[in-house]
Structure 1
Amino acid sequence: MTLSTQLLRRGIEAAHDVHGLLSAKEGGHGQPGDDEPPQVPALAALVFFVTGMLIIALLFCIGYTFGHLLPTLCMIESPETAAYVPVDVLEPTDPPAYAATTPKPTQDDGEDDAEVLLVRNKPLTASIRQTILHLRARAGYWSPYRGLSMFLIWNVATGLLVGIIASIFHSRLGVAFAAIVAETALATLHMTWVHIVISEASPKRWYQRIASFKTWPKIAPAVALWATSNQIVHILPMLVCGSFGSLKHMNNPEYEPGRKDLYAVGAQGVMAMFLTVLLFVLLQIPASVTLVRVAASMLPEEDETIVPFDRTFGGKTTPAIIGGQGKIGLVEAWRSFPWASRIRLVKLMIKVALIVMAFWLTFTIVLVAEAHVIFGDKLGEMMKTVHGISRPH
């Protein structure tokens, strides 16, 4: 779960609350079956539906690459060490492709060495464009969507399991508990997705790379921590903001909101977004980094990572092939993630959130404009019909 996903979900919920207030203020729409639905040409409805589906597909692709894949690579990349490189082997560039220079070193016998530069390689994941180009150079044109099959299988299986467990409960907290249990139970699928994303292209199919169930006890605590933080970030802001003010009375059929209540809902929505961002930074990022790095520590020895990665985590763990435990602990997984990398990850997520929100705004404008052109004077009636169908009875 990424920051952009959380903000989009929070924005949709806030918009729905405002719309509910406006509907209540207008006195309701009556039952959906009271009036005949407006008649629109089938071709126009089909064009609008296809456009909506294309927008959803594009947002999913953008969210997958920028919101899931790139942050995962950033969480495991270990910046390469600085190196002294002879000047005559570097091609001139503008700006120069180096971070710092060093004076020409001299030997004790008085002879001068060739002029050299101290090159500090910039991490790949510091630039979104550079990361995409690197992936395509190493794993092909479609590499920004690598691991998509495993991602879909993992999420569909999780969704089915959540549905089964959640049928026992009838509350939001019950569904959250079901999600935590389901994610933890399918921890090996989550770990397999991480392995596919961070490793070089492999001839194996996705199902051939699913980790053995014997690895479940090693990865389950990290997934449980991640799933719990995910639910806290999603639920806690709405529980807090929905416990007072106008949102507290939204389900009361006798509640008659006024203009000031609309402003109150807007303010509570902003507060919910602020809490979401705060909890995301304080809980979700550390939990996500911990999960990814613990999973990366169990990457099979025959697989090479597609970005620079220190398997020993600075000497804090020993690979299983030489008698070590073969994984890093939860605390060390986070501590071994240096502050420079943490800042780089936060910057990346801010960029991703802005990109997703910009695309979301653009697609919304396109969809609204198309709705006006296609439905014309019947747009209001269509919105009433859709609202009546979607309202709970």
Structure 2
Amino acid sequence: MLEPGRRLLNAAMAVSVTSGPPPSDQPEPVNVFAIILFMVTLFLAGAGFILFDYTFQVVKILTIVEDLPSDYDLAPAYDVDVTGESEGEDGMPPHYRDDTDAEHADASPTTPKIAPGLFLGGTPGKYITSSFRQTIRYLRQEAGFFSAWRGFSVNIVYAIAASCVNGIFRSMFPFPFGKYIAGTLVMLAVSPLSLVHTHVVLAPPTKETWFGRLSRLPFRSILHTLPAAFLVAATGQLTYALPDIMVKAFVPARAFDDPTPPADDNPYQSMLTPLQCLAIYSVFLSVHVLLFIPSMIIMYRVQASVYSPTEEAIIPFERTGAQSIVRAWTSYTAEGRWRLVRLYARVMPLVWLAAFGVGTVLFFELRWVMGDRGHVLDVILHQWLRNQNGRAP
């Protein structure tokens, strides 16, 4: 009598176990929707930042290069509607006005050249690159909607080539700070692509590919721009080398050598304090502003100086022939510096705000993806905040 009753009890317990909630040691169900949402947000944010960063790079090059040539007429190349809705014939972007117009047919050879689009809408003192939006509007009027990403293909090739060459040079300098020597040599090796990229940004719309422009680029032009490229490479590597030295000085060596600290040790004590982060960022920003940006200005202006004198440019600048490093810096006017400062001051706060907003969204989406394990992110953040009260090294 007892055996059948025991079997019935065991069967009832088995049914109750299998029909109840899953044991805690079983893996948590995957939240497919959260993963898809996180990946889509990450992809859109990454693509958006890449395209905007490249647009900023194009506008920055034009802002640095644009200047008032001494032998140019101050008349506008054509009337541009300030609303940005003007078009040329057949809906095409308006064309440059040149010296072959009927009104200039009988002009003497000494007649000043016409500055294409020097002043938008004929407004004196208003350069093409006087603002970020105005520059984008001008580019789209001149070369269509995608002109803000002109030269994007050669920029991709530049990045791929730099990555490949960097791997070769890094293997040649295996010591700790050899990566900075390798980085400097990489920029020198791919400097012809940088030179072609600058010329593509300056050139009006053309059917010629960037490779065709590279193939007809004089070798002496490449050699002439190498000192400026080296200056940018050296200051750029210094921008990251100094913060790297500071991080290694602030954070204990065991945080790099031993990723698994003792059980009684706090694994988050190797994080930097806000004061240390501020010091590192201050050094980075100082070197970037005082050394890297001036060297970048010099390089772009030297590269523009070897732009073929027989080719038209989408913006006006002084065509005095190949410039030296000193000449490229001394010829940069105060008005040009002020336009560049305004560009950074107006764009960078928006970039920082967007980065903070996207980072916050991605943090909460990642926490949603992790599910019950998402509390680890809260623990890390909470522990880091606690460490700032003097517990961190």
How has the CA–CA distance of structure 1 residues 212 and 251 changed in structure 2, closer, same or farther, with 3 Å as cutoff?
same
Larger radius of gyration: 2
CA deviation string 1:306-327 (max 9, x = no partner): 2221112xxxxxx4xxxxxxx1
- Aligned residue for 1:228? 234
2:157 paired residue number: 153
* Percent sequence identity over aligned pairs: 27
Is the CA contact 2:301–2:328 (under 8 Å) kept in the aligned structure 1?
A: yes
Report the CA distance between 1:36 and its aligned residue: 9.0
Q: 1:306 & 1:73 partners in 2: Cα distance?
A: 9
**Structure 1 residues 183 and 252, CA, compared in 2 at 3 Å: closer, same or farther?**
closer
Q: Residues 350-365 of structure 1: matches in 2 within 5 Å?
A: 350-365=345-360
Matches within 5 A, 1:123-138: 123-138=127-142
Aligned residues: 307
Question: Does residue 300 of structure 1 match 2:308?
Answer: yes
Alignment of 1:116-127 (within 5 A): 120-127=124-131
Q: Which residue of 1 aligns with 2:194?
A: 190
CA distance in 1, matches of 2:333, 2:174: 42
Higher deviation after alignment, 42-51 or 348-357: 42-51
Q: Which amino acid aligns with 2:47?
A: A
CA deviation after TM superposition for structure 1 residue 92, in Å: 12
1:328 alignment partner in structure 2: 323
Residues 46 and 279 of structure 1, relative CA distance in 2, 3 Å threshold: same
Kindly report which structure 2 residues correspond to 1:206-217, keeping only aligned pairs within 5 A, or say none.
Answer: 206-210=210-214, 211-217=217-223
Partner of 2:255: 250
Find the partner of 2:58 among 69, 76, 83. Answer: 69
Are the equivalent residues in 2 in contact too, given 1:79–1:121 (CA < 8 A)? no
Distance 2:378 2:165 in 1: 34
CA contact (8 A) 1:79 1:122 kept: no
1:161 and 1:251 map into 2 onto residues whose CA distance is 27
Quote the residue 1:167 is aligned against.
171
Q: Indicate if the aligned counterparts of 1:200 and 1:304 stay in contact, CA closer than 8 A.
A: yes
Q: Does structure 1 conserve the Cα–Cα contact (< 8 Å) formed by 2:202 and 2:313? A: yes
Give unpaired runs (5+ residues) of structure 2. Answer: 1-24, 84-121, 380-393
CA shift, 1:305, in A, is 1.9
Do the aligned residues in 2 keep the contact of 1:38 with 1:378 (CA within 8 Å)? no
Q: For 2:185, which of 169, 181, 198 is the aligned residue?
A: 181
Q: How far 1:201 sits from its partner (Å)?
A: 1.4
Alignment-derived partner of residue 318 in structure 2: 310
Report what 2:225 is aligned to: 219
Aligned residue identity for 2:233: A
The corresponding residue for 2:146 is 142
Shift of residue 238 of structure 1?
2.7
**How much has 1:59 moved relative to structure 2?**
0.9
Amino acid at match of 1:299: Y
Most deviating of 301-310 and 251-260:
251-260
> Is contact 2:235-2:295 (8 Å) kept?
yes
Bigger CA drift: 127-136 or 251-260? Answer: 251-260
Instruction: Mark the CA change 1:53 to 1:172 in structure 2 (over 3 Å): closer, same or farther.
Output: farther
Q: Quick one: which amino acid aligns to residue 329 of structure 1?
A: S
Taking structure 2 as the reference length, what is the TM-score of the superposition? 0.69
Residue equivalent to 2:41: 51
> Which structure has the higher relative contact order (CA within 8 Å, separation 6+)?
1
TM-superposition CA deviations, 1:209-267 (whole Å, max 9, x none): 1134443211111111111111111221231x2253446663254585699875x5321
Deviation at 1:129, TM superposition (A): 0.8
In structure 2, the CA distance between the partners of 1:153 and 1:41, relative to structure 1 (3 Å rule), is same
Aligned equivalents of 1:363, 1:224: Cα separation in 2: 35
CA distance in 2, matches of 1:216, 1:91: 39
Letter paired with 2:333: P
